[in-house]
Structure 1
Amino acid sequence: MPEATNRTGTNTTTKSRNETGEKGTTLKGRSGTDAPPGMRGDTTVADAVVAKIAGMAAREIPEIHNLGGGMARAFGAVKERVPGSGTDITRGVSVEVGERQAAVDLDIVVEYGASIVDTAGDVRANVIQAVEGMAGLEVVEVNIAVHDVHLPDEEEESEQGGGRVA
């Protein structure tokens, strides 16, 4: 396990898997009474945590209709109808978490009429701010794939049983 010392003398070590086998990152603090209380001990951030943070941050942008590609959204819609299953915050979100950095990939559906370039920039900025602020990881990139544009009349058709057979 690599160990590095930064300018403040803090030893930082990162593990790729924690004791339960979950993938994530562990930031090691210092030990001993000379270390400030906030630096004593280890903090482990799982990949799933970073994915949830990124998913919530992306959904905060008003021009985002949904996350996920076509099949992921279809399975998600079926899953949401099952009582007690809730919504899948990480659908359409993929993360790679390293020692002190994270990379995020998002699959999004944008509302019709919104500028895709501006929306992607807003999503990117919000995800970076949320992940860096909450997880303490540097976000090196946020890759965004726009899979669809949501048209206003699409939802009305599906609610009214838009098929030809009743």
Structure 2
Amino acid sequence: MADHKEYWSTIGDQGSIRISEDVVASIAALSASETDGVSGLYSSLTNDIVNFLSKKNLSKGVRIELGDEDTVKIEIGFLAEFGHNICEVAKQVQQSVKASVESMTGLKVIEVNIHVGGVTFAPAAPSETDTAEE
């Protein structure tokens, strides 16, 4: 994400509203990380794997581009869980992120581009021979 923060602004009869791109990124990241089959977010620029439980670093796998006429483009990088259909997970992330951002901000999401940075595997369960050796 850019070093400088951009804001989406609107002025109504009761005053102005400003929403930071960081807020939009956080909404998108939380929505993506809650999707079944997503194990975490992935930042392809720095190759950092972001633990999706960390609220502080939640939006590192998300890029936001605010456009004209109340539009936004979103890029999300995530790690897929082994055993899930990656295309189906990516489509679900696109739908979930679009719905969340539009309903919470009023912005029109025109693109949700997905980058799958890898596949994660569940930790192996200890076998009976491993527990017998201890």
TM-score (norm 1): 0.64
Match of 1:29 among 4, 7, 12: 12
For 1:141, give the aligned amino acid: E
Identical-pair percentage: 28
Higher normalized strand content (fraction of residues): 2
Match of 2:77 among 107, 122, 129: 107
Unmatched segments (≥5 aa) in structure 1: 1-20, 31-39, 157-166
Match of 1:66 in 2: 40
Q: 1:124: how far off?
A: 0.5
Structure 2 CA distance for partners of 1:55 and 1:86, relative to 1, 3 Å: closer
Give the SS at the match of 2:98.
Answer: helix
Give the SS at the match of 2:90.
Answer: helix
Q: Is the 8 A contact 2:75 2:112 kept in 1?
A: yes
For 1:109-133, what per-residue CA distance to the aligned partner results, in whole angstroms no more than 9, with x for missing partners? 0000101111011101110011000
Unmatched segments (≥5 aa) in structure 2: 127-134
How many aligned positions are there? 118
Q: 1:92: how far off?
A: 0.6
For 2:62, give the aligned amino acid: V
Looking at structure 1, the residues matched to 16 and 67 of structure 2 have their Cα atoms a distance apart, in angstroms, of 16
Q: 1:91: how far off?
A: 1.6
For 1:66-99, what per-residue CA distance to the aligned partner results, in whole angstroms no more than 9, with x for missing partners? 10147211xx56xx9xxxx864110211111124
Looking at structure 1, the residues matched to 18 and 77 of structure 2 have their Cα atoms a distance apart, in angstroms, of 26
Q: 1:28: how far off?
A: 1.5
Larger Rg: 1
Misfit runs of 4+, over 3 Å: none
Q: Is the 8 A contact 2:32 2:96 kept in 1?
A: yes
Work out whether 1:98 is the aligned partner of 2:76: no
Match of 1:46 in 2: 20
Highest relative contact order (Cα 8 Å, sep 6+), 1 or 2? 2
